[in-house]
């Protein structure tokens, strides 16, 4: 657990980047620091590994004051991922991943073996091990950045907008893969972003920060979306809270029906040889592409799939993409979240 006790960062010119911040970030969870630029979220993150020293207050890592350990030793035990990747251009992918193990004195063989293992873990091909960062795409570089942070298996990961510079298509894939990875790794993650959707997708808890490092609300994403604590929070999250809430509900909780020969309103789903849905078809009508939802999808994905369907039904597939069935619109409606009550339960 990372605990911030009354932490303040004041610059010599009097600017208060972070003021009297108290925050508990539980072990094994992703805590998102969400806010617009200049709200002090990055400053907060960088005080944890002492890239910035707080003016006052105390930061504890599992009960131990981070200021009490030699700073380079502290940092070798904390993974760090940043937006611009920060990979060493003069080192190969494997050498980049092996940086912290090397600092810790691992032998070459072990460094290499660990690097290869991590290259696979973050979804890259092992033949990339001996390439230089300049030979990789932005998304691949970020994957290497994550692998590098994980190399010495640190319990804590600090991530500062790690997917912010990746193009939107690949960003989504990276976010989902990171979420899956974290499910297995159970690191204590502090994740800085200004992207509400990213925060909702990844955060076990979200701290919404206002200018000056003030926490406007701290809690699980459902709570922030369903019951924003202030106008600031409501405004920051934006006008589509209801829709965002849908992305917190898993798709597999909604029952599907198998598509019989008659289909739905005359529409059936044509599958390819592997049983994967190819298109919605109806005699006499042009084919319509299928937006299929996998088991790790959300209610929001189902709704999207249903809207894209001429039969107004979402298409469910399994992990391999094989057709399972369809979810009619009215079934979806039954699973929509209830409107938030204005008064708290007694």
Partner 1 sequence: MNWGWLDRNLDTVLEDLSEHIQIALVSLLLGCLIAFPIGLIAYRWRAAYGPLLAITQVLYTVPSLALFVLLINAVGIGQTPVIIGLTIYSLVILVRNLVEGLRAVPPDVIDAATAMGFRQTRRLFAVELPIALPAVVAGLRLACVSNISLVSVGALIGTGGLGQLFIHGFQIDNPIEIWTGIVVTIALALALDLLIVGGGRLLTPWTRAVR
Q: Contacting partner 1 (CB under 8 A), which of 10, 58, 91, 112?
A: 91
Residues in 181-220 that interact with partner 1 by CB under 8 A: none
Q: Contacting partner 1 (CB under 8 A), which of 5, 76, 312, 335?
A: 76
Check binding of 6 to partner 1 (CB under 8 A).
no
User: Using CB under 8 A, which of the segments 87-95, 294-302, 317-325, 336-344 binds partner 1?
Assistant: 87-95
Q: Contacting partner 1 (CB under 8 A), which of 4, 40, 80, 201?
A: 80
Nearest to partner 1 of 80, 256 (CB atom): 80
Check binding of 249 to partner 1 (CB under 8 A).
no
* Residue whose entry in the numeric block shows the structure tokens 């959300």: 298
Q: Contacting partner 1 (CB under 8 A), which of 12, 14, 89, 239?
A: 89
Check binding of 131 to partner 1 (CB under 8 A).
yes
Check binding of 147 to partner 1 (CB under 8 A).
no
Nearest-approach distance from CB 80 to partner 1, in angstroms:
4
Angle between helices 138-150 and 168-185 (to 10 degrees): 20
User: Using CB under 8 A, which of the segments 25-33, 127-135, 185-193, 309-317 binds partner 1?
Assistant: 127-135
Check binding of 97 to partner 1 (CB under 8 A).
no
The DSSP output letter for 273 is T
The angle at the Cα of 325, spanning 246 to 327, to the nearest 5 degrees, equals 35
The angle at the Cα of 179, spanning 307 to 324, to the nearest 5 degrees, equals 40
Check binding of 127 to partner 1 (CB under 8 A).
no
Complete DSSP assignment for 284-339: TEEEEE--EE-TT-BHHHHHHHHHT-TTSEEEEE-TT--EEEEEEHHHHHHTSPPP
Residues in 12-71 that interact with partner 1 by CB under 8 A: 49, 51
Nearest to partner 1 of 149, 225 (CB atom): 149
Structure tokens at 171: 């960003």
**CA dist., res. 236 & res. 228, Å (int):** 10
Beta partners for 32? 191, 206
Q: Where are the alpha helices (DSSP H) in 151-219?
A: 168-185, 196-202
Check binding of 87 to partner 1 (CB under 8 A).
yes
Tell whether the torsion through CA atoms of 228, 205, 243 and 198 is positive or negative: positive
In the complex, the residues that contact partner 1 under the rule CB under 8 A are 49, 51, 72-76, 78, 80, 82-91, 99-100, 103, 131-132, 134-135, 148, 158
């Amino acid at each position: 657990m990372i605990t911030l006790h009354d932490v303040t960062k004041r610059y010599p010119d009097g600017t208060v980047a972070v003021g009297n911040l108290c925050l508990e970030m539980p072990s094994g969870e992703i805590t998102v620091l969400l806010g617009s630029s200049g709200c002090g979220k990055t400053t907060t993150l960088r005080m944890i590994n002492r890239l910035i020293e707080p003016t006052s207050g105390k930061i504890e890592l599992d009960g131990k004051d981070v200021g009490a350990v030699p700073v380079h030793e502290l940092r070798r035990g904390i993974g760090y991922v940043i937006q611009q990747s920060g990979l060493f251009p003069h080192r190969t992918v494997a050498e980049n991943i092996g940086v912290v193990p090397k600092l810790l004195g691992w032998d070459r063989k072990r460094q290499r073996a660990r690097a290869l293992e991590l290259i696979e873990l973050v979804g890259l091909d092992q033949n990339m091990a001996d390439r230089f960062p300049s030979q990789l795409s932005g998304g691949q570089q970020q994957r290497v950045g994550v692998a590098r942070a994980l190399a010495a298996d640190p319990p804590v990961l600090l991530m500062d907008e790690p997917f912010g510079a990746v193009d939107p298509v690949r960003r989504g894939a990276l976010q989902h893969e990171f979420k899956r990875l974290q499910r297995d790794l159970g690191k204590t993650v502090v994740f800085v972003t200004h992207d509400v959707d990213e925060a909702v997708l990844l955060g076990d808890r979200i701290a919404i920060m206002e200018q000056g490092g003030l926490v406007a609300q701290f809690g699980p994403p459902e709570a922030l979306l369903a019951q924003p604590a202030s106008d600031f929070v409501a405004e920051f999250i934006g006008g589509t809270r209801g829709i965002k809430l849908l992305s917190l509900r898993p798709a597999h909780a909604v029952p599907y029906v198998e598509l019989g020969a008659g289909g739905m309103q005359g529409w059936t789903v044509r599958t390819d040889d592997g049983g994967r849905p190819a298109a919605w078809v109806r005699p006499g009508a042009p084919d319509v592409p299928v937006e299929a939802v996998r088991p790790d999808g959300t209610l929001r994905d189902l709704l999207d799939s249903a809207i894209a369907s001429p039969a107004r039904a979402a298409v469910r597939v399994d992990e391999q993409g094989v057709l399972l069935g369809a979810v009619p619109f009215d079934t979806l409606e039954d699973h929509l979240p209830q409107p938030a009550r204005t008064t708290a339960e007694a």
